[in-house]
Structure 1
């Protein structure tokens, strides 16, 4: 009798735990509040001293890689911009409305290496934009044969710009406690340059002018609203 009663208690506890886990599972997609969100509309083709270089073709990923990207992201954008001095910067943006996994698969640290690049120097820094707003960024030196490409990127997870998987997991947990599924965006700026110290100021100028050209509500969707403080980096 006691064993039967114990078994019933255990079964009830298991069913209760399963029901609680099912109830607590995030179901509210933040992206549903922004159904008309389009990367083409958010990122202008011309701003400040920069214009899209129409003479350069857009580089399309291989079909197998594109298929994998389509599973993770809802929208992607790839452009090359040029300024009056002839300096070129490549912009790549990927947006996903359901990013409970933290956008860990295709950060440049991983996807460049998977394409045959070798990762050299890396730097984590903060970049000041639009007054006293700063965003955490990661700089990478990627090489493949004679090609030396400096990359600057950040990942927007929910309302916070991040550079590490740990940060993204914490943001995901923070949203999950409210039963929300955060949206995410990977923003990558890069240029062909053998010297990181020369490429970073160019990237900073590009990003600053881009953010200044965006309406505040759109800018928040790209750099987040969490980090607002003085810039104390050299980037």
Structure 2
């Protein structure tokens, strides 16, 4: 009887902790609509040559409800940035954001560097992200990416798992997004371009779309900055 009582209690606790509330930050529009086609000197071109989640396996295709791929060209300098944004309206134990450290090796790249990076956005605002260098024999791709899981911005896989558990304990089934910006060639020059591109992109995104990209708190901080 004691064992039966403990079993019933465990079931009741599990049921009580089961996430029931949806947390959706992409509201009233699609990613395609949320991301600016042109801003400042940047103008989007037809995307080609991007490493995509579909290339990494069939399971990855189930992780996202929308993927946007663009290549932006700086009309003044000729610099190019490849952008991939993958959005999932449900991020559960089975549906996890697919990080470049897993995606790129799956299609033949070697990860030469992966380290945390705080991208300065202006004022005191900074974006917790990662800097990654992925290489093959004939390609060197320099990447800055970040992910959002509900209102949290996990910087690595371990933090992502912890954040997913925290969301579940709070009763939320959140949406999630992964934003990847990359440039080819010399790493020092490429990362200088990317650290300029990311703040420009976020400032150009509409106020309604920005929480979907970086969460509500950081979106509000960006809204308080003067335009540059």
**Aligned position for 2:34:** 42
Q: 1:203 to 1:173 in 2, by over 3 A?
A: same
After TM superposition, the structure 1 = structure 2 runs for residues 116-155 of structure 1, keeping only pairs within 5 Å, are 116-155=108-147
Q: Deviation at 1:101?
A: 3.1
**Aligned position for 1:13:** 6
State yes or no: 1:73 paired with 2:64.
Answer: yes
Q: 1:72 to 1:63 in 2, by over 3 A?
A: closer
Q: Is the 8 A contact 2:54 2:60 kept in 1?
A: no
Question: Which of residues 172, 180, 185 in structure 1 aligns to 2:177?
Answer: 185
- The RMSD of aligned alpha carbons is 2.5
| Segments of 4+ moved more than 6 angstroms | none
Q: Is the 8 A contact 2:53 2:61 kept in 1?
A: no
Q: Deviation at 1:157?
A: 1.3
Gap runs ≥5 in structure 1:
1-7, 229-235
Question: Which of residues 9, 12, 15 in structure 2 aligns to 1:22?
Answer: 15
TM-score for both structures, normalised by structure 2: 0.85
Aligned residues between the structures: 219
Deviations 1:29-62 (A, max 9, x none): 212x7553411011111111100124x5475859
C-alpha separation in 2, matches of 1:122 and 1:34: 28
Question: Which of residues 81, 86, 93 in structure 2 aligns to 1:89?
Answer: 81
Q: 1:60 to 1:108 in 2, by over 3 A?
A: closer
Question: Which of residues 210, 215, 228 in structure 2 aligns to 1:219?
Answer: 210
Gap runs ≥5 in structure 2:
222-228
TM-score for both structures, normalised by structure 1: 0.83
Q: 1:135 to 1:144 in 2, by over 3 A?
A: same
Q: 1:64 to 1:47 in 2, by over 3 A?
A: closer
